[in-house]
Structure 1
Amino acid sequence: MLKVLSFCGDKIPSVVLGINNIFEYMSDKIDIDFTFKKTDMVKSKDIREADIVICVRGASDLDRDIVKLAKIYNRLIIYYLDDDLLNIPKYSSVAPFYENKQIRENMISAMENSDILWTANTNIRKKYGVYFERSYVMDIPVNIQEIKREKDQSNIKNEDVVKVCFAGSSDHIHMVDKMLSPGINHIAEKYSKEVYFYIIGVKPKKIKEFSNVKIVEYFHNIQEYYEFVAKNKIDIGLAPLEASDFTACKYYNKFLDYTCNGMVGIYSDVEPYKLIVKSEFNGMLAKNEERSWEELLEKLILSKELREKIYFNAVKEVKEKFSYDYIMEKVLENIPEIKNQKKYKIKKRNLYLEKKVDLSSNFIVQRVANGFKIYGIKYLFIGSYKAVYKTLKYLKRKLNYAEEKK
């Protein structure tokens, strides 16, 4: 049986959606044994036993060494990238990490030692493909079931409240205030009984207080976000995005997210969204001007018929082009080694690099030292926040387990 090892610094959406989900699906269809590990849990034994090694967004010292050892042992190495990490904008909270000289050198080393670039964005392939012998653009698979609304009226005046949401992180405050806040204020006031807004993950400075506008805390657990959206039966999702070389390298996750969760999306008329969205067919494309966002949002709110048409078309496209079977076929077509990779015996072990990987794994002192090296004194606050958050997650898991045992 072919063994595939995927690793990443944490179990983030990038690795779950981009790699783990499709390989877990394929492991039920073809003869492969798939394992995911956080980077600091990978041991040299894992690399020796694997036939294919997948590095997701690797940039740390340990990521570099794991890839280097896999290269020495003649493993097929795939590097998965879903962001323009060498060109992170200054406003991003992770900019200090990826601007660090050592981190950038680590990332380039990991890419140059890998065999294949796997990405979901053609612009990333253009920028980063130079580091690899082979590179492929493959979409992210999703499961979708069409959500049916109970009412069949065609006008806002005869139906329940239309629910609208924006979901993002604190990095997006400026963008929300620039493009969405004025329109949300006008519509929330004009349709106080007919429209309800959920602003998830950000606290915009320019959105006024209305009884039909609710600010919702950021969901650290993506499953909790899905549950929230399903429970509240949200109709329209907003996805503004500023135009830049960096954002053009992102994926149209929001198109899949909103469609799979029963929403019609309004998206910025920029890449990557305009690569997939056709306005008034499977979504709405807004110019990055406040008036455009307000006009399109009001148009969707007032026409249930338009919302249903767009939603039907979006669901049809997702079912046809983003199904697990469709994406699996593309993956195996591009990377046939997943089915028939040769098993290479290790003729001579590199004990020095093995020991280096094993000592680095789960080594808290090194992690703290790297944190201070990159963030300086700020790491006192960043590190303590992460420690508290991970402790609370651990306790929550234990409490849930205890409840299940009752």
Structure 2
Amino acid sequence: MYRGILPAISLDWLGHQVSAGMQLPENWREQGLDVVVGCRVAKPGPSTVWRQMRDVGVRLVLDLDDDYFHLDPANTMAYRLWSHPRMRQGLLDNIALAHTVTCCSEQLATVLREHHDDVRVIPNGLPAQHLGSPRDYDPELLSVGWAGTASTMHELPQAVRALNRIAEYRRPGGVVVRLVGIDQSTAVSLGLKGRRLGALGWVEDFGHYLTAVEEFDVWVAPYRDIDFNRAKFPTKYLEASMLGIPLIASDIEPYRQVIRHGENGFLVRHEHEWGRYLKRLVDDPGLRRRMGMAARAGASGSILQAINQQWEAALAPAMERTPA
């Protein structure tokens, strides 16, 4: 979504003729394509088409949203797939064929510059409309939230103890822990428990996902300090800040760059701090408001309307030939 659909929508706003999908149409030769952005192109079939497009003069931009050269073994399926010699070599070959490589963070760009001379960092963004959605910073029932996937659930145990405790905290109106992206049985297997635990499971529609996380009053984003995570974009901060939600995140490289500790979020260095910062935010609606609004105030630079020109520049010179 962040590296395909949303950039395509933003380029359409600039007047370009854009389409996006999971794969190219079989009649791509008849489409009159000037430029193609391929995300994580590595498998044999797509690699063949990638080379064919290069041969007929299509400008190729290869985009990576994660560091596939420093994978996390805890994510077993992805590790097996991307550690396979054929997949890794396919990715390297397609990086070499690309005219330009784009990625989401400077840390990842450092890795990719070992394999390509033209690597551009283009951050993730969201439409400006989300900056204006109203928030109630003092609801009766307070929601503490986490959002992720099956591939990021291995980060959650760092905060499990604090989440279990805050769910039982005797606050007027109570506290509920909401999880988006994993189901109840997975949450329980990770050590989460209690009557005030809600797990929504995977939400395929991105609009529905944003609606679900907008219900959070406090957002937690635990991450292990490993190479793979250091190369990530701080997407949870992007989403939380656009929606005005105070975020507590691990003190690792991507989040350290955007969170001013105690002002627009909290950074956690030690496990016991998850509970401390959760309790401070749960107890203090004024702090939730100040921190959420401070984060939102700095989010204007993350709107798609501010980022689409970076995508346009990366796709040049093909875009220069397209009426705008």
What is the CA–CA distance in structure 1 between the aligned matches of 2:25 and 2:93, rounded to whole Å? 21
Letter in 2 for 1:17: Y
SS in structure 2 opposite 1:181?
A: helix
Q: Aligned match of 2:249 in 267, 280, 291? A: 267
Check 1:133–1:119 CA distance in 2 against 1; reply closer, same or farther (3 A cut): same
Q: Find 2:305's aligned residue among 312, 325, 340.
A: 325
Give the 3 Å change call, closer, same or farther, for CA 42–258 of structure 1 in structure 2: farther
Q: Which residue of 1 aligns with 2:199?
A: 215
Q: String of CA shifts for 1:130-174, please: whole Å, max 9, x gaps.
A: 3323111111221223343357x6xxxxx5122111112234444
Contact 2:100 2:118 in 1 (8 A): yes
C-alpha contact 1:146 1:262 (8 A) present in aligned 2: no
The aligned amino acid for 1:142 is: L
Letter paired with 1:38: M
| Distance 1:311-1:65 versus aligned 2 partners, 3 A rule | same
Alignment length (residue pairs)? 314
- Name the residue aligned to 2:47: 64
Cα 1:333–1:94 shift into 2, 3 Å: closer
In structure 2, runs of 5+ residues without a counterpart are: none
Q: State the partner residue of 1:294.
A: 275
Which of 224, 229, 241 does residue 242 from structure 1 map onto? 224
The TM-score, its normalising length taken from structure 1, stands at 0.71
Post-superposition offset of 1:124: 1.3
Q: State the superposition RMSD in angstroms.
A: 2.3
Structure 1 counterpart of 2:2: 17
Asked if 1:55 corresponds to 2:38, the answer is yes
Q: Secondary structure at the match of 2:178?
A: strand
How far 1:110 sits from its partner (Å)? 0.7
Q: Is the 8 A contact 1:277 1:285 kept in 2?
A: yes
Q: Counterparts of 1:2-401 in structure 2 under 5 Å? A: 16-30=1-15, 32-39=16-23, 41-45=25-29, 49-92=32-75, 93-143=77-127, 144-150=130-136, 160-177=140-157, 179-191=158-170, 193-200=173-180, 201=182, 202-205=186-189, 207=191, 209-230=193-214, 233-287=215-269, 289-319=270-300, 321-341=301-321
| Greater Rg over alpha carbons, structure | 1
Inter-partner Cα distance in structure 2 for 1:57 and 1:51: 20
Cα pair distance change 1:26/1:65, threshold 3 Å? same
Q: Flag the structure with higher helix content.
A: 1
Q: Percent identity?
A: 15
CA–CA distance in 1 between the matches of 2:190 and 2:308? 45
Q: Which moved more, 1:220-229 or 1:308-317?
A: 220-229
The superposition leaves residues 261-295 of structure 1 with CA deviations (integer Å, 9 ceiling, x where unpaired) of 442111110021112111122221111x3201111
Q: Partner letter of residue 165 of structure 2?
A: H
Letter in 1 for 2:293: F
Pairwise CA distance, 1:58: 0.7
Q: Provide structure 1 residue ranges, at least 5 long, that are not aligned to the other structure.
A: 1-15, 154-158, 343-406
How far residue 340 of structure 1 moved from its aligned partner, in angstroms, is 1.5
Secondary structure class of the residue paired with 1:95: helix
Q: Cα distance 1:281–1:26, how it changes in 2: closer, same or farther (>3 A)?
A: same
Mapped partners of 2:193, 2:114: distance in 1: 50
Contact 1:176 1:204 in 2 (8 A): no
CA distance in 2, matches of 1:325, 1:281: 26
Distance 1:273 1:54, change over 3 A: same
